[in-house]
């Protein structure tokens, strides 16, 4: 997620000691608690993405629009050669 996306407030209820330790850590590393938490969430999202099993071949078709999905498979028959093409042209222009 880009840093420039709109920001939304998030309220977390955590142990007071944990909050203070996190604030100290952020201060010692020259960052804010918000940036620290955002960085952790980004790292977590990247890790989850890396661990996600590859999607089945049919899953990608489900994400297509109905019109695009209707075109899937129309280009099959790639075993056609140049002779087939010329035969098609001859029949077309008779």
| 20-73 tens-digit pLDDT | 999 999 999 999 999 999 999 999 999 988 888 776 666 777 888 888 888 877
Answer whether residue 93 is part of any domain: no
User: Domain residues for 23?
Assistant: 9-72
* Inside any domain, residue 23: yes
Q: Give pTM, 2 decimals.
A: 0.50
Residue 92 lies in a domain: no
Is 45 part of any domain? Answer: yes
30: in domain: yes
**CA–CA distance from 13 to each of 17, 29, 42, 55 (Å)?**
12, 23, 20, 36
* 1 occurs within a structural domain: no
Number of domains in the chain: 1
For the chain, what is the largest distance between any 2 Cα atoms, rounded to a whole number of angstroms? Answer: 87
Residue 47 belongs to a domain:
yes
């Amino acid at each position: 997620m880009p840093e420039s996306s709109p920001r939304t407030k998030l309220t977390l209820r955590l142990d007071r000691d944990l909050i203070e330790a996190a604030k100290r850590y952020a201060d010692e590393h020259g960052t804010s608690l918000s940036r620290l938490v955002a960085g952790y969430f980004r790292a977590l999202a990247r890790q989850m993405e890396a661990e996600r099993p590859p999607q089945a071949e049919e899953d990608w078709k489900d994400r297509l629009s109905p019109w695009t999905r209707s075109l899937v498979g129309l280009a099959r028959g790639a075993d056609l050669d140049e002779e087939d093409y010329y035969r098609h042209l001859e029949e077309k222009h008779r």
